[in-house]
Structure 1
Amino acid sequence: MKAVVVAAGEGTRMRPLTDSRPKPMLPIGGVPMVERVLDACAPYVDGYVLVVGYEAEVIREHVGIEHAGHPVEYVEQDEQLGTAHAVGKAGESVNEPFVAMNGDVVVDEALVASLAAAARDGESAIATMDVPDPRNYGVVDVADGYLTGIVEKPADPPSTLANLGLYAFDPGVFEFVEATELSERGEYEITETIERMLAAGHAFRVVEHDGHWLDVGRPWELLDAQEILLEDVEREIRGEVEDGATLEGSVVVESGATVRTGSVVEGPVVIQEGATVGPNAYVRGATVVGEDGKVGTSVEVKNSILMRGATVPHLSYVGDSVLGRDVNLGAGTIVANLRHDDANVRMGVKGDRVDTGRRKLGVVVADGVKTGIDTSLNAGVKLGVDATTKPGESVTRDRGENL
């Protein structure tokens, strides 16, 4: 059995973090999302087909031709024309039952196991989850454990079971993909493919899931996902911890990482290879300090993602934020993460200011950003690739391109 993993999209709602990488390569808990999906599939498959497109070489270079002992084949989706179109691209590489996964979701192994079991039984399957308000999802109609219909974002949902966009198929699906027509949204949608299969008498087992699942589409959802994933992290100290440093709870210090004297690290925290913390730093919450990153003297970092090479060297505070690769925050840079009126923080997404649902949210800073000393960054601000600030500047609006 193979896993077809769709990892072709840019993720425009994730800008500016996706200006230099496809969305599935964004890290959660220090590991790219697509790699986590491959890991979840590994016990149940004997090979992968990765559907790539935007910045495809980034995925190819990271994943390579083998993962978890299974071969990896790549197919190109030059135009991102919907999930059915992406799945169809795998048709020449798959002649057996398979699971179809998105490469930019957080999903636990148990759900993959259930889908794979259906495929082994010769059945197609659709993954679902009970949600309080299903009107913003594709909603399934079920009878005796099998799918009878599916409708997108209905005003009057037929059930509370949301479609998670994860499936088991047999190779017969490709015939129905070929028959799928372009939708009003300009995509070949897999839900139409499934409706055609149902009309032709094809049965779909409904797999109800009650574990971890999160569709990570907007920058702050990286933090939501990391909080979930780091719940299960176990303490492991392989790097150097100097005398006078204090580690509390579930803390991972990878080989080649250093925690210097006077620092306090309260888990769940992952400090990756080559990273340094301290001296006299404070790191807490669900935080990852990425490879070769630095949290320096008298710096506090809370509940944040610092990607590879991100540096916060002196006298700064970073809370509930995402820092891209090779960011450098000048001494005294302070991130605000709470509004005075205690309302949810809003953030720009494709030109609109969106309620993030988060009372505490700092900033999203793309690769290569540099701030001047004593910069203040307001809650919900985004800085684009290679953006800069002046010393002493107070930044209250987004800055840069492709935000």
Structure 2
Amino acid sequence: MLGVLAIGTETGAAFAPSIPAALLPVGEGSAVDRAIDAMIAVGVDEIHVDPADHELSVRVHERYPSVPIVQDDDLTGALVRHDRVLWMPATAVVDHSSLERLATAGAGVLKRPSEPFSPLAGPEPRPICLPADVFEDRAPSDAPAIARGLDVDGALERIECDHVADVRRPWELLDANEWYIAGVDTPDGHSIDGVRSRSDGEIHPDADLTGPVAVHQGARIGPGVVIEGPVVVSPGADVGPNCYVRSNTFIGEDVHIGASVEIKNSVLLDGAKVPHLSYVGDSVVGPDANVGAGSLVANLRHDDQPVRLTHNDCRVSTGRRKFGVVIGEGSKLGIGTRLNVGTVLGVGATTTPGEIVVRDVRTEGDTER
């Protein structure tokens, strides 16, 4: 089977434009690592990176050196050699058993059961598998367009899957990290493995770590810290005294967490800072963002309905009962900022000391009303 690893044209997700979206963290790997692993697991034996990207091609080769990389000038031959084509976004995270069901369907696309829209309708595409003969003279990059045509004719199977995510959506980045940090059992008896404990970094003897906690080399855990795994602490991260880090949290490289901070079920990207006396729950904090000391995040609506937020200039449902905020890359929050559930702070946004944020803040001084 020919695998097509599809790369979006954007440099990164809206909340982290400096990081290629495919390299956003998912557990102790990246989104593209998860995509490559899943493709190989379901029988892909040649991979084409579309459009050509040297860094990701090297990543594929280093991860699976025996798997050939198909170049642009050999695509026609590749379509002849294979009876099926698995088109996989590099930002897609999916459990292997669901992808296997897709790979054995006549022609199909993965979708989440909760999605009210077609998985082919939006800018966040899902994995697609098609017979090679439907491409005729068209390139593998045309898989989404071909699938849309088959869907109109009723010839495309929509395969429901609970564990499929596009990490460019911040709430799905949380979903994917939950699966690969905590581990899950899929309905058909397969599983996604969670993290395993490791203590390669510096852990103060007065810290209390329970459950699987992966502390990588160069990370530092201060005195009085309580970490309830599963949690990932990346190289260079510093968790200050008396912090409380709760399960399913990913702490990126060189992240600084100050004294007496509580972090719960969140993703903190590289270089983010959460100084002392703050609470961040069910949230995504972009690279190099600074959450002012004493800031608090709300993560639950009073009416108990799924949290909605702005994504691609549209208000959408996250499908999550608990979701906090999205803090964009390089944002700087004043001390004592209060952030309402479902608010989004754009790249480089700022807040004033003590500000109560109930609407999105696009950039410095620009608040959506």
TM over 0.5: yes
Seen in structure 2, the aligned counterparts of structure 1 residues 244 and 21 have a Cα distance that, compared at 3 Å, is closer
Residue 31 of structure 1 and its aligned partner are, at CA, apart by 3.2
Q: Paired residue for 2:78, among 71, 74, 94?
A: 94
Q: Paired residue for 2:135, among 174, 197, 211?
A: 174
The aligned amino acid for 2:23 is M
Counterparts of residues 150-161 of structure 1 (less than 5 Å) = none
> Structure 1, residues 373-400: CA drift from partner, whole Å, max 9, x if none?
2222222111111222222222222112
Q: What residue is the counterpart of 2:283 in the other structure?
A: 321
Q: What residue is the counterpart of 1:223 in the other structure?
A: 174
Q: For the Cα contact (< 8 Å) 1:51–1:90, is it kept in 2?
A: no
Of all paired residues, the percent bearing the same amino acid is 39
Q: What residue is the counterpart of 2:245 in the other structure?
A: 283
Please give the secondary structure, in 1, of the residue aligned with 2:93.
strand
Residue 211 of structure 1 and its aligned partner are, at CA, apart by 6.8
Residue 124 of structure 1 and its aligned partner are, at CA, apart by 5.6
Q: Paired residue for 1:37, among 19, 35, 38?
A: 35
Counterparts of residues 43-58 of structure 1 (less than 5 Å) = 43=41, 44-52=43-51
Matched, 1:382 2:366: no
Matched, 1:68 2:49: no
Q: What residue is the counterpart of 2:196 in the other structure?
A: 235
Q: What residue is the counterpart of 2:108 in the other structure?
A: 126
Q: What residue is the counterpart of 1:266 in the other structure?
A: 228
Q: What residue is the counterpart of 2:163 in the other structure?
A: 212
The aligned amino acid for 2:169 is R
Q: Which has the higher contact order (CA 8 A, sep 6+)?
A: 1
TM-score, normalised with respect to structure 1: 0.72
Q: What residue is the counterpart of 1:159 in the other structure?
A: none
Q: State how far apart, in whole Å, the 1-side matches of 2:111 and 2:356 are.
A: 43
Q: What residue is the counterpart of 1:107 in the other structure?
A: 94
Seen in structure 2, the aligned counterparts of structure 1 residues 223 and 65 have a Cα distance that, compared at 3 Å, is same
Q: Paired residue for 2:22, among 17, 24, 42?
A: 24
Q: State how far apart, in whole Å, the 1-side matches of 2:173 and 2:60 are.
A: 24
Counterparts of residues 332-351 of structure 1 (less than 5 Å) = 332-351=294-313
Q: State how far apart, in whole Å, the 1-side matches of 2:304 and 2:115 are.
A: 28
Seen in structure 2, the aligned counterparts of structure 1 residues 111 and 64 have a Cα distance that, compared at 3 Å, is closer
Seen in structure 2, the aligned counterparts of structure 1 residues 338 and 115 have a Cα distance that, compared at 3 Å, is closer
Q: State how far apart, in whole Å, the 1-side matches of 2:255 and 2:116 are.
A: 41
> Structure 1, residues 189-235: CA drift from partner, whole Å, max 9, x if none?
4231677897xxxxx9x796767333556322221222222222143
Q: State how far apart, in whole Å, the 2-side matches of 1:276 and 1:384 are.
A: 25
The aligned amino acid for 1:8 is G
Seen in structure 2, the aligned counterparts of structure 1 residues 74 and 365 have a Cα distance that, compared at 3 Å, is farther
Q: State how far apart, in whole Å, the 2-side matches of 1:71 and 1:242 are.
A: 46
Q: What residue is the counterpart of 1:79 in the other structure?
A: none
Q: State how far apart, in whole Å, the 2-side matches of 1:390 and 1:208 are.
A: 47
Q: For the Cα contact (< 8 Å) 2:16–2:329, is it kept in 1?
A: no
Q: What residue is the counterpart of 2:186 in the other structure?
A: none
Matched, 1:6 2:6: yes
Residue 167 of structure 1 and its aligned partner are, at CA, apart by 0.8
Alpha carbon RMSD of aligned pairs, Å?
3.8
The aligned amino acid for 1:31 is G
Please give the secondary structure, in 1, of the residue aligned with 2:361.
coil
Residue 9 of structure 1 and its aligned partner are, at CA, apart by 4.3
- Point out the structure with the larger strand share: 1
Q: What residue is the counterpart of 2:334 in the other structure?
A: 372
> Structure 1, residues 242-278: CA drift from partner, whole Å, max 9, x if none?
1011111122112222222110001121111221212
Q: State how far apart, in whole Å, the 2-side matches of 1:262 and 1:62 are.
A: 42
The aligned amino acid for 1:319 is G
Q: For the Cα contact (< 8 Å) 2:16–2:287, is it kept in 1?
A: no
Q: State how far apart, in whole Å, the 2-side matches of 1:370 and 1:92 are.
A: 50
Please give the secondary structure, in 1, of the residue aligned with 2:258.
strand
Seen in structure 2, the aligned counterparts of structure 1 residues 164 and 342 have a Cα distance that, compared at 3 Å, is closer
> Structure 1, residues 131-175: CA drift from partner, whole Å, max 9, x if none?
4x786336xxxxxxxxxxxx989xxxxxxxxx96421533x3431
Identify unmatched segments of 5+ residues in structure 1: 76-88, 139-150, 154-162, 182-186, 199-203
Q: For the Cα contact (< 8 Å) 2:250–2:268, is it kept in 1?
A: yes
Which protein has the larger Cα radius of gyration, Structure 1 or Structure 2?
A: 1
Q: For the Cα contact (< 8 Å) 1:319–1:361, is it kept in 2?
A: yes
Seen in structure 2, the aligned counterparts of structure 1 residues 223 and 93 have a Cα distance that, compared at 3 Å, is farther
Q: State how far apart, in whole Å, the 1-side matches of 2:111 and 2:347 are.
A: 37
Seen in structure 2, the aligned counterparts of structure 1 residues 109 and 130 have a Cα distance that, compared at 3 Å, is closer
Please give the secondary structure, in 1, of the residue aligned with 2:280.
strand
Q: For the Cα contact (< 8 Å) 1:8–1:22, is it kept in 2?
A: no
Q: For the Cα contact (< 8 Å) 2:49–2:57, is it kept in 1?
A: no
Seen in structure 2, the aligned counterparts of structure 1 residues 370 and 29 have a Cα distance that, compared at 3 Å, is same
